[in-house]
């Protein structure tokens, strides 16, 4: 087994999860003994799968949830002591799912005969090349460009892992690409860029941009990410979005709107504070101000982050001041346990989004009097980026603007079930709703190069 950080459970406690593959005698009560051995050591059970059922033996896979590696070892020791059970293998399910990567290229047409080959390649392809040479817009009809997004990273700020480089970040990129394809039917191609120089990154992106309909920036450290996104938005005529900024901001704003409805009634009646002005925090504050037309109090330990935008300078405060005066507090600092429970005001809404350990835990916040709490596990960018990019691509938008982002916010809010802060990111209906909302906003805001008819918005899409 490889050593991985334990993950955070729904209760805020760390968990160590492994799958145990075992063989046991096929007698009544043997499975109960197995489960009892786990429970007696304080462990929990996830999935149970019967792999093979024989006359004398049964082979099963059981997911065991422990507190940490040492606790898991105690559970395994108890299982190995069972006389009718033999542990065959301990499997890290996460590593299993990543073997061989998570995405691949597939063809749209079968190639079985010589005629098939001649049609898709030489000599038939020459006619298509000449057509595109004569009218470059035909590339949107005869290539995959309009259905393909370049996913660019240099791996300098990957999840909670930090600067691990673009190759080590590839599993994250493949995961995002796989989910994008699942919920849009379109393509996302991970491209690692071996440079920490913003200008080199920018020029590389520009040089490859002709082969893609949009650019998705991911896991790039601040402040370089601001420079890179701004330059690409200015120099390219295709949608560009840094998901750690804009995607996070969209989902967070939707969560804030829903939380306020559950607790306060209306976002217009609350004061909001943003703690941390990195890539995510600055975008969250900016989008909330665009939505509410009101100030958001901001703070960051780095003066440069506060001074980066005029609205941040005007609305700067200390952490203590934000906790004292704000009804809603959003924190994206990356600093574990930053917020002391004594700072929490009664009936405050707190979104502590740092992963894997937030600025304050749910138990601490609620015990201190907070009316509502959520952490980063529920504010998932998957709710936003597939639909935002597909809506932009469908309309051949020249960029992604605030009306499109705010349309995505409203679509997520409208799709949220009663009593939830956001909908499930695995619900295809959410992605369809975001796609259509963003497409309509692109058209009405004047940056769409292709107008979609009303039938597009009335008929259910098949994904």
Q: What pLDDT, in 10s, does the model give residues 274-284?
A: 999 999 999 99
Q: Which CATH number fits domain 246-375: 3.90.1560.10, 3.50.50.60, 3.90.79.10, 3.40.50.720?
A: 3.40.50.720
- CATH 3.30.70.260 in the chain, residues? 7-98
Mean predicted confidence (pLDDT) in 19-48: 94
Looking up tokens 């009892």, which residue turns up? 36
Which part of the chain is CATH 3.40.50.720? 246-375, 381-458
Mean pLDDT of 10-29: 80
Domain 381-458 has what CATH class? alpha beta
pLDDT reading at 462 higher than 70: no
CATH number at 144-238: 3.40.50.10380
> Cα separation of 270 and 330, whole Å?
13
Task: Provide the whole-model pTM.
Answer: 0.85
- CA dist., res. 242 & res. 230, Å (int): 10
d(CA 414, CA 416): 6
State yes or no: pLDDT of 10 exceeds 80. no
Nearest to 381, CA basis, from 408, 344, 420: 408
**Are the C-beta atoms of 218 and 248 separated by less than 8 Å?**
no
Which string of DSSP letters, residue by residue, matches 70-97? HHHHHHHHHHHT-TTEEEEEEE-HHHHH
- pLDDT in the model for residue 157: 93
Tokens, residue 66 = 């422990």
Q: Choosing from 5, 13, 77, 121, which is the catalytic residue?
A: 121
Distance, CA of 431 to CA of 385 (rounded, Å): 9
Q: Is the pLDDT of residue 6 over 50?
A: no
Closest to 175 (Cα-Cα) out of 92, 103, 254: 103
Candidates 385, 381, 380, 344; CA nearest to 361 is: 344
For Cα atoms 339, 343, 348, give the angle at the middle one, nearest 5 degrees: 95
For the chain, residues classed under CATH 3.40.50.10380 are: 144-238
CA–CA separation, 436 and 4 (whole Å): 39
**Residue 159 confidence (pLDDT):** 78
Which tokens sit at 122?
Answer: 């030489």
* 328-356 tens-digit pLDDT: 999 999 898 899 999 999 999 999 998 87
- Please give the pLDDT value at position 101: 85
Alpha-carbon dihedral of residues 312, 315, 319, 321, nearest 10 degrees? 180
The pLDDT tens digits for 160-177 are 788 999 999 999 999 999
Query: For the chain, first and last CA: distance in Å?
Result: 37
Give 411-460 pLDDT, tens digit per residue.
999 999 998 999 999 999 999 999 999 999 999 999 999 999 988 888 65
Pick the closest to residue 255 from 243, 246, 267, 270 (CA basis).
Answer: 267
At 452 the pLDDT is 94
Catalytic residue from among 176, 390, 436, 440: 176
Per-residue pLDDT tens over the stretch 115-156: 999 999 999 999 999 999 999 999 999 999 999 999 999 999
Mean pLDDT over the full length of the chain? 92
| Residue among 67, 71, 72 nearest 19 (CA) | 72
* Residue 14, pLDDT score: 54
Catalytic residue at 121?
yes
Q: Which two tokens stand for residue 222?
A: 């601040």
When pLDDT is cut at 50, 70 and 90, the band that residue 4 belongs to is: very low
Does 293 participate in catalysis according to the annotation?
no
Confidence of residue 15 (pLDDT cuts 50, 70, 90): confident
**Topology, domain 7-98:** Alpha-Beta Plaits (3.30.70)
The answer on pLDDT for 379 being more than 90 is no
C-alpha to C-alpha distances, 375 to 12, 254, 319, 398, nearest whole angstrom: 9, 14, 18, 34
Task: Give pLDDT, residue 380.
Answer: 92
């Amino acid at each position: 087994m490889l050593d991985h950080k334990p993950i955070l459970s729904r209760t805020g406690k760390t968990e160590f999860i492994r799958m145990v593959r075992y063989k046991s005698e096929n007698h009544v009560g043997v499975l109960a003994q197995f489960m009892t051995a786990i429970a007696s050591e304080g462990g929990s059970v996830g999935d149970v799968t019967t792999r093979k059922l024989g006359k004398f033996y049964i082979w099963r896979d059981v997911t065991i949830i422990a507190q940490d590696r040492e606790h898991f070892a105690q559970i395994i020791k108890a299982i190995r002591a069972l006389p009718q059970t033999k542990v065959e293998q301990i499997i890290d399910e996460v590593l299993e799912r990543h073997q061989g990567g998570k995405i691949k290229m597939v063809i749209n047409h079968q190639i079985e005969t010589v005629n098939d080959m001649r049609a898709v390649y030489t000599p038939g392809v020459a006619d298509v090349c000449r057509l595109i040479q004569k009218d470059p817009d035909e590339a949107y009809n005869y290539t995959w460009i309009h259905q393909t997004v370049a996913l660019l990273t240099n791996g300098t700020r990957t999840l909670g892992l930090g600067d691990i480089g673009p190759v080590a970040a590839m599993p994250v990129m493949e995961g995002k690409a796989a989910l994008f394809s699942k919920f849009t039917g379109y393509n996302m191609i991970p491209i690692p860029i071996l440079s920490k120089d913003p200008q080199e990154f920018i020029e590389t992106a520009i040089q490859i941009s002709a082969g893609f309909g949009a650019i998705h920036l991911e896991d790039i450290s601040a402040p370089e990410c601001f420079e890179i996104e701004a330059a690409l938005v200015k120099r390219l005529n295709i949608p560009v979005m840094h998901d750690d900024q804009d995607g996070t901001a969209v989902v967070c704003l939707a969560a804030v709107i829903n939380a306020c409805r559950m607790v306060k009634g209306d976002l217009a009646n609350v004061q909001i504070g943003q703690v941390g002005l990195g890539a995510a925090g600055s975008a969250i504050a900016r989008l909330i101000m665009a939505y509410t037309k009101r100030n958001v109090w901001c703070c960051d330990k780095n003066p440069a982050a506060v001074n980066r935008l005029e609205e941040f300078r005007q609305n700067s405060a200390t952490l203590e001041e934000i906790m004292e005066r704000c009804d809603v507090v959003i924190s994206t600092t990356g600093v574990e346990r930053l917020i002391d429970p004594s700072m929490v005001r009664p009936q405050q809404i707190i979104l502590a989004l740092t992963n894997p350990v937030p600025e304050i835990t749910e138990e601490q916040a609620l015990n201190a009097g907070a009316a509502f709490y959520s952490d980063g596990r529920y504010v998932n960018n998957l709710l936003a980026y597939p639909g935002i990019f597909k809506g932009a691509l469908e309309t051949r938008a020249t960029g992604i603007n605030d009306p499109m982002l705010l349309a995505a916010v409203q679509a997520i809010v409208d799709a949220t079930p009663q009593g939830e802060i956001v909908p499930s990111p695995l619900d295809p209906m959410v992605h369809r709703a975001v796609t259509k909302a963003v497409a309509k906003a692109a058209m009405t805001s004047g940056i769409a190069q292709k107008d979609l008819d009303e039938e597009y918005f009335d008929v259910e899409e098949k994904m």
